[in-house]
């Protein structure tokens, strides 16, 4: 069975940045499942998966525009320290969910803490990076009606 729209695909991967460092991956654990054609993985990788079959191994380099996007400096902003009143041990590098200036929920990374101000970054941690994926397709199967309805694999 080939990887195509509405198929569930399980794959192992290593994600390698442009300094040849493995920054994420599934090897040594469970393969990553996703519903193909529903934007559940980065676009460049999803395109490269189309037509593959079980046992296929390949490497692909994905530019930021087809990965986690271009860094947007407007997503780096300062908020009042009081916004983090519920965090007893706030520290740089911490990932938090909060409302952005437009009032939408988003995940941000704390990048600086100074007195009563906290600088946060709403960009994905891999935004702006050229990424290389080393992939092995482990399984391909038909999606269930429930998965198709949800548009993703649900635990």
In a domain, 27, yes or no: yes
- Domain CATH for 115: 2.40.10.330
In a domain, 83, yes or no: yes
From first to last of its 155 residues, what are the pLDDT tens digits of the chain?
999 999 999 999 999 987 888 999 999 999 999 999 999 999 999 999 999 999 999 999 999 999 999 999 999 999 999 888 877 788 999 998 888 778 888 899 999 999 899 999 999 989 999 999 999 999 999 999 999 999 999 76
Residues 32 and 15 in one domain: yes
Residues 44 and 19 in one domain: yes
- Domain CATH for 48: 3.10.50.40
Q: What integer pLDDT is reported at residue 108 of this predicted model?
A: 93
Q: Are 153 and 32 in contact (CB under 8 A)?
A: no
Q: What integer pLDDT is reported at residue 99 of this predicted model?
A: 80
In a domain, 96, yes or no: yes
In a domain, 1, yes or no: no
Q: Which domain holds residue 111?
A: 73-121
Strand 117-121 and strand 7-16: the pairing is unpaired
Per the structure, how many domains does the chain have? 2
Q: What integer pLDDT is reported at residue 87 of this predicted model?
A: 78
Q: What integer pLDDT is reported at residue 9 of this predicted model?
A: 98
- Tokens found for residue 102: 């437009």
Residues 100 and 140 in one domain: no
Residues 54 and 13 in one domain: yes
Residues 11 and 64 in one domain: yes
Q: What integer pLDDT is reported at residue 13 of this predicted model?
A: 97
**Best CA proximity match to 122, nearest among 136, 109, 104:** 109
Residues 13 and 43 in one domain: yes
Q: What integer pLDDT is reported at residue 154 of this predicted model?
A: 77
């Amino acid at each position: 069975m080939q990887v195509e729209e509405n198929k569930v695909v399980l794959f192992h991967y290593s994600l390698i940045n442009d300094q040849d460092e493995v920054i994420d991956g599934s090897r040594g654990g469970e393969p990553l499942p996703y519903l193909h054609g529903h934007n559940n993985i980065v676009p460049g990788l999803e395109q490269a998966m189309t037509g593959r079959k079980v046992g296929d191994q390949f490497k692909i380099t994905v530019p930021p525009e087809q990965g986690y996007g271009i860094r947007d400096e407007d997503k780096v902003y300062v908020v009042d320290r009081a916004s983090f009143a519920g965090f007893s041990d706030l520290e740089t590098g911490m990932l938090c969910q909060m409302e952005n200036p437009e009032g939408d929920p988003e995940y941000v990374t704390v990048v600086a803490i100074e007195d009563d101000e906290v600088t946060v970054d709403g960009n994905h941690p891999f935004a702006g990076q050229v990424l290389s994926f080393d992939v092995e397709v482990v399984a391909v199967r038909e999606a269930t009606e429930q998965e198709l309805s949800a548009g993703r694999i649900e635990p």
